[in-house]
Structure 1
Amino acid sequence: MPSWRKPWHCMAKWLILGCLCTGFLLLFYSYASLQVFMAKSPAPARCSSPPTSPTNIPNDSCWPKLDIVFMKTHKTASSTLLNILFRLGQKHHLKFAFPSGYNDFNYPTFFRRSLVHNYQPGDCFNIICNHMRFFYSEVHSLVTPNATFITVLRDPAHLFESSFHYFGMVVPFTWKLTGHNKLAKFLQNPTQYYNPQGYNAQFLHNLLFFDLGYNNELDPRSPQVEEHILEVEQRFHLVMLQEYFDESLVLLKDLMCWELEDILYFKLNARRASAVPQLTGELYQRATEWNQLDALLYRHFNASFWRKVEAFGRERMAREVANLRWENKRMERICIDGEHAVEAKDIKQPSLQPWQAMGAKTILGYNLKKHISHQYEQLCRKMVTPDIQYMTELGVNLWITKLWGYIRKFLQI
């Protein structure tokens, strides 16, 4: 009896999966279509509120800036920075522009102001920070003229590797890849497996260029490429680098006139070490060449980043980074059980379990210590809370995200 029941159980499970996924996709795309339709309404007057002012600032102190747009790129430590912004928003009672029902602004379609939850013409917001495909005029219309625009870039080869493995299950044309190292096989001849019109294709080709709102299929020799890069430089006050995250945070702190406590962090949404393949010299070069637009973008802002560091002062930067790392370590000792991240299966509280990619659960999270002093208890919890749960805490109704989470949990995918 057991020999034939198991196949029937598997067939029934996948039949249920097919029905649920079909229904979910129909519901999602109906919702997305409605949002796109609403986005075509006439453009209202832009936000005209004065810059947000903090309270209780001494006259001789720097004036913290509290209006900020964070263009959240994929796989660039952006979830860690998102947590910093969530905490800052709570600290100063700021107004977030959040999506409705989902944790991004209908990505990969372009951002529209009508996608903001409960948006009314003329509304102004302090912080915009969720995933989107950037559309400058629409975003700019929701914040004060003095708002600060920031984003994060990452070495394109490593970004491609991370995106390939994290999003592989939702990029259908990669499913035909066989062998142990699918990434290496893909890079042997990317055009054989890549279709720019394919579903979720953007995750595997010049993802930074795409997220920033540009055509990720441009010829690298096109003059438009340089024009787009200079446009990013004009629009963004700070372009951070994932590889130099601490230095980037120090520059952000200086730019925004924030306190050291405002930029403390634990790494969120990080993969376990065994799930991070090492790119060989040849594969690294191929990945860079395949993502040539992102490579040109990264090269430009890597140079400008170090010019900012020079202007800030190398010795001063070293001191500030050392202070930040010391404080982060101190918070680990205060907050984290074992003082390190753990695998998903070892996270004891469901509310602290990060969202996992489909397939293997490789994203790490944290367990809080059982006894934390009252002084740090709230901060510790905020610092380890994944973005989905944090958004819920901030009042966002993530019904689509949660529905998909329940389906995945039921089907164990």
Structure 2
Amino acid sequence: MAAIGRHRSKLAAIFWTVVIHVRGRSFLSLLCLYVFFVVLWLVILPFGLENFIFSGYNFQAKSVKTRYEYCPKEWLMNYYPLLGAVETTCKPRQHVAYLKNHKCGSTTIVQIFNRYRRFYDLRVAEPKYGYHFWGPVDASKIPRPPKIKMEFINTVPLNGTEDKFDMILHHMVYDEEVLKRVMHADTFYTTILREPFSQFKSVFNAFHFDKKYNIFNADPMREFLRNPQKYYRGGTKPASAFVRNSMLFHFGFPDEDDTLRNNITFIKQFIAYIDKKFDFIMISEFMDESLILLRRLLCWDMDDILFASRNVLNYTYKHVDDPELRRLHMQWSLGDYFLYSHFRQKFEKLMKAQGPDFQEELEAFKICLKNFQNDYPYQ
């Protein structure tokens, strides 16, 4: 109520200032002005001006200090029941490096991290160029974006832990040494993967590869997979990195090297390297379960992992599930299938180890999420 009173005092001052400046105008103009301010005074201010304007469209317009309105407090479960841990309390981890993988649900995850870091006023690494750490290039116009470099980061930390970033969230190609230099030593490394054929279909649509490769028949994706080398042309076409082993590429996999691309021994060694460097890898097909595990690993509240739907698109071949096309794609992007299989198995093993309270928490989360998405169905 005190806040409403302050807003109304300011509004009254603005009203009389405007009246003084418009004196001499027609009676109708003054009447319209009066009605407008009365509506603001009686209707909008008690509800909250930002909520009135943005309700249902932009949950970030709502005060980020408003918490626990979608989940009852007893459901927040700020404890750490992971793998039978003895301790029942924990300290939230606020240093996170998120590898944003194309068309895997990454935008939804970034939405969650952005809300969290705004709430706690955390320092996030920002790209110097555009919305990615690929340097001063348009990734859609070059074959392969480079790995993240120090010069791609805006305001690079100079020295000391106080200069490090709390989070890094934008698109990049992983480079361990660069991230070590700009992130805290206790940073939690995470990303998300998606079933490879589904991810490929989404990428093929998003990057308009039918147009890039001048495939004009009725089924361009099928045509591409039947003879990919004809269109790929050695990876010289723009955005080539995203059409083959796209997920593995984000970790820095040298897909352009044909001697390594289908070398199963090397692929497994590279995946083992990823496994050592990343603390947790989510699976898009288990989004809710992924977020519950993420919450437990980071010791966050349930309110911290709520999300609105992002970038949900429909396209011609989204629901195509042709076994022949899947087989052709596996031949083309073998590394992504090994990557996904390894981390999905690891994910399911971790999920099964949680015990009965995991399912209870999952059901509670779905209720909280439904409450949240009723207000913010899409962003």
TM-score by length of 2: 0.69
1:50 equivalent in structure 2: none
Equivalent of 2:251, from 191, 208, 212? 212
Specify whether residues 335 and 219 from structure 1 end up closer, same or farther in structure 2 by C-alpha distance, changes over 3 A only.
closer
Asked if residue 240 in structure 1 is aligned to residue 282 in structure 2, the reply is yes
Q: Distance in 1 between matches of 2:196 and 2:374?
A: 34
Q: Provide the secondary structure at the position in 1 that maps to 2:192.
A: strand
Query: Deviation string for 1:304-360 (max 9, x for gaps)?
Result: 1111112222x3332222222211111122344xxxxxxxxxxxxxxxxxxxxxxxx
Displacement of 1:202 in angstroms is 0.8
Q: Who is 1:26 aligned against?
A: none
- Unaligned stretches of 5+ in structure 2? 1-77, 80-86, 140-144
The answer to whether the 8 A contact 1:288-1:295 is kept is yes
What does 1:302-341 align with in structure 2 at a 5 Å threshold? 302-313=344-355, 315-336=356-377
Query: Can you list the C-alpha shifts for 1:53-111, whole angstroms capped at 9, x where unaligned?
Result: xxxx9998421000000011110000000000100001111000010240001251110
2:294 to 227, 237, 252: 252
Q: Deviations over 1:101-137 (max 9, x none)?
A: 4000125111012211122422300000100011111
Cα distance in 1 for residues equivalent to 2:304 and 2:211 = 37
Given candidates 114, 124, 149, the residue that maps to 2:151 is 114
Cα shift at 1:234:
0.1
Query: C-alpha distance in 2, partners of 1:185/1:279?
Result: 15
Larger CA deviation: 66-75 vs 304-313: 304-313
The alpha-carbon distance between structure 1 residues 335 and 295, as it changes in their structure 2 partners (threshold 3 A), is: closer
Among 54, 77, 81, the residue aligned to 2:105: 77
How far 1:211 moved relative to its partner? 0.8
Match of 1:164 in 2: 204
Name which of 125, 132, 154 aligns with 1:97.
Answer: 125
Q: 1:300 to 1:272 in 2, by over 3 A?
A: same
CA distance in 1, matches of 2:178, 2:369: 36
> CA separation in 2, counterparts of 1:120 and 1:144?
11
How far apart, in 1, do the equivalents of 2:157 and 2:124 lie?
14
Q: What is the CA deviation profile of residues 274-323 of structure 1, one whole-angstrom value per residue up to 9, with x for unaligned ones?
A: 6724231221222222110000111111111111112222x333222222
SS of equivalent residue, structure 2 residue 98: strand
The answer to whether structure 1 residue 147 and structure 2 residue 147 are counterparts is: no
SS in structure 2 opposite 1:312?
A: coil
Q: How many angstroms apart in 2 are the aligned matches of 1:147 and 1:120? A: 15
Out of 154, 160, 183, the residue aligned to residue 221 of structure 2 is 183
Classify 1:171/1:312 alpha carbon distance in 2 versus 1 (closer, same or farther; 3 Å). farther
Q: Which has the higher contact order (CA 8 A, sep 6+)?
A: 2
- For the 8 Å contact 2:194–2:284, the answer to whether it is kept is yes
**Is 1:137 the counterpart of 2:210 in the alignment?**
no
Residues 121-130 or 274-283, more deviating? 274-283
Distance in 1 of aligned mates of 2:150 and 2:95: 17
> Please, what is the CA RMSD of the aligned residues?
2.2
Match of 1:197 in 2: 236
Aligned to 1:278: 320
**Which of 289, 292, 296 does residue 338 from structure 2 map onto?**
296
Q: Does structure 1 retain, via aligned residues, the 8 Å contact 2:96–2:189? A: yes
SS of the counterpart of 2:185?
Answer: coil
In 1, the alpha carbon distance for the partners of 2:226 and 2:210 equals 21
How many Å apart are 1:168 and its aligned residue?
A: 1.8
Larger Rg: 2
TM normalised by structure 1 equals 0.64
Gaps of 5+ in 1: 1-56, 337-365, 367-383, 385-413
Is 1:75–1:159's contact at 8 Å kept on the other side of the alignment?
Answer: yes
Aligned residue for 1:178, secondary structure, equals coil
**1:110 partner amino acid:** K
Identity of aligned residues (%): 25
Show the counterpart of 1:230.
272
Displacement after TM superposition at 1:161 (Å): 0.9
Distance, in Å, in 2 between the alignment partners of 1:61 and 1:101 is 41
**Is 2:299 the counterpart of 1:262?**
no
* Residue pair 2:210, 2:216 contacting (<8 A) in 1 also: no
